[in-house]
Structure 1
Amino acid sequence: MVVDLHTHTTASDGTFRPMELIEKAKLIGLEALAITDHDTISGFQQIDETVEIDPKLLLIKGVEISAEYPTDSLHILGFNFKDSEKVGRVLNELIDYRNKRNELILEKMNNHGFKVTMEELKKIAKGKAVGRPHFARLLVEKGYVQSMDEAFQKYLKDGGLFFVEKRRLKSEEAIELIKEAGGIAILAHPYQILKDGKPFPIAPSVESLEDFIKYLKFKGLDGIEAYYSTHTNSQIDELLRIAEKYDLLITAGSDFHGDNRPNVKLGLNVPYKHIGKFLARIF
């Protein structure tokens, strides 16, 4: 079946408004769509409930929480949580800190001679949460760099000239928040957490990706994103094996951001037998 359980809108760092993303999903025949903006659920407040949603499209409330990790790559997806107020309150605290962080990045840029303003950033972001992709796009538009990739490599990557650390929940805190709100906690893009083929040693017993997933399972993790836009067939097979071994749910997501990641297309075609167990938890 054709689904996408990992997408972003203008509420974080995507370029499609929530209703636009839903319309695109309907147009290409998606059977299930989860909106999982970074550290915010505000996108769901922008969905017009008077607009008829195609009954063939299962729309799932979600979020992607950035968890504490040596690199900006450990993300926990939360799905179908019941207590939106609790989730929103905690995430808004993180957004408040992110706004302070953005001011610090702007200060660094202007001290370096780059004339940029928060008004320009907000115009690009269109939504609530300004993030590094918006800084990168602004640098491109103003001619300071030739591409967003150059902006990240020169200035915005971890340790870069304009980098300022995020405030994040610990992985177990992110999982706990989702579970306490009645939701499902999934490890996003597992292979992105690796460095030189191994995860960072967050615990003495963690030496491999399987160890890492097992560790998070012990902390309450419900499943893993086995199908992902950059996963190879062998990586998918390995994640399916791990999921079966530890009785974990399986999800599939592209990490669609619209024009901010033009090479990532909306929708993945995956066997129902692999994601059916997850979808059954949604109903």
Structure 2
Amino acid sequence: MVPERGEPMTSQPIQVVADLHTHTTCSDGVLSPIELITKAEQRGLQALAITDHDNLDAHRHLRDLGYNGPLRLISGVEISCYDFGREIHVLAYNVDVDDASLQEYEAFYRNDRARRAEEMVANLHQARAPISYQEVIDEAAGAPIGRPHVASVLVRRGFVPSIQAAFDVYLDVGKPGYAAKTPFPVAQAVEMIHAAGGTLSIAHPGRYFTDPAMFLPLVKTGVDGIEVYHPSHWHVTREFYRVMCQQHGLLVTGGSD
């Protein structure tokens, strides 16, 4: 569980079955917010954090629906940062979904994602894989546009056999269709989320860092925790980050993503 910011940590751990890293159709998930909640309830979860990429639309939608079920919903968002020479995602929990700075951030990244998608489409034309920006918009179906939507169009048009192939051939860093996001430092995300009353955890760090010396400066930005438990982490990776949490007084989080 993620405690409320300022809530004291108890010496006796409380066992809670929770998933603190999930996505819905408001970003790159396959289930709607209410479908995800229904599945979480069926699986016996006690708490769920919906952490869509760069937006809190799912939480506003559920608030409008008046959800009042047994599941404890934790307001969350996965923030896309670019720092230390690489893309880094941080998970924010217990945030005020109506915070003005967060809403400004959402608008900024929605616009930046659109700009990036247009640039990717132009790059793909140069790489002899012509698709249209309108096809990408249609694929996103109202969600913030991302590389998976571009990849899906490439698959549908027959330029590649799979989503993974689309990334391997065209969309990964250094590939001909890639377009970079506008840099958003982790320290800036920390300041924004703390001001909104939230708590931050570094998402799936094993994807970005293998050298502890490179990871320590990220810890010093003021983040509150590390996502130790993630499907992409092997046991040795989980143990490394669990020990790091102990050494630096950080929260341990985990989720299915």
Q: Note whether the superposition's TM-score is higher than 0.5.
A: yes
The correspondence of residues 1-283 of structure 1 with structure 2, limited to 5 A, is: 1-47=16-62, 49-55=64-70, 57-69=71-83, 70-72=85-87, 74-82=88-96, 84-194=99-209, 197-198=210-211, 207-209=213-215, 212=216, 215-255=217-257
TM-score by length of 2: 0.86
Does the CA-based 8 Å contact 2:117-2:150 persist in structure 1? no
SS at match of 2:180: coil
Deviates more, 1:59-68 or 1:21-30: 21-30
By how many angstroms is 1:226 displaced?
Answer: 0.9
Higher relative contact order (CA 8 A, sep 6+): 1
SS at match of 1:33: strand
Q: In structure 2, do the counterparts of structure 1 residues 113 and 78 end up closer, same or farther at CA, with 3 Å as the change threshold?
A: same
Structure 2 Cα separation of the partners of residues 113 and 232 of structure 1: 38
* AA matched with 1:226: V
SS at match of 1:144: coil
By how many angstroms is 1:109 displaced?
Answer: 2.3
Structure 2 Cα separation of the partners of residues 237 and 116 of structure 1: 44
SS at match of 1:66: strand
RMSD, aligned CA: 1.9
By how many angstroms is 1:208 displaced?
Answer: 4.6
Structure 2 residues without counterparts, runs of 5 or longer: 1-15
- Aligned residue pair count: 240
Does the CA-based 8 Å contact 1:8-1:35 persist in structure 2? yes
CA deviation vs aligned residue, 1:166-211 (integer Å, no higher than 9, x gap) = 01310111111111111001111111112xx326xxxxxxx253xx
Structure 1 Cα separation of the partners of residues 62 and 156 of structure 2: 30
Deviates more, 1:41-50 or 1:184-193: 41-50
By how many angstroms is 1:51 displaced?
Answer: 4.9
TM-score by length of 1: 0.79
CA deviation vs aligned residue, 1:230-258 (integer Å, no higher than 9, x gap) = 21222222222111121111111111xxx
Structure 2 Cα separation of the partners of residues 140 and 44 of structure 1: 31
Does the CA-based 8 Å contact 2:48-2:73 persist in structure 1? yes
By how many angstroms is 1:113 displaced?
Answer: 4.0
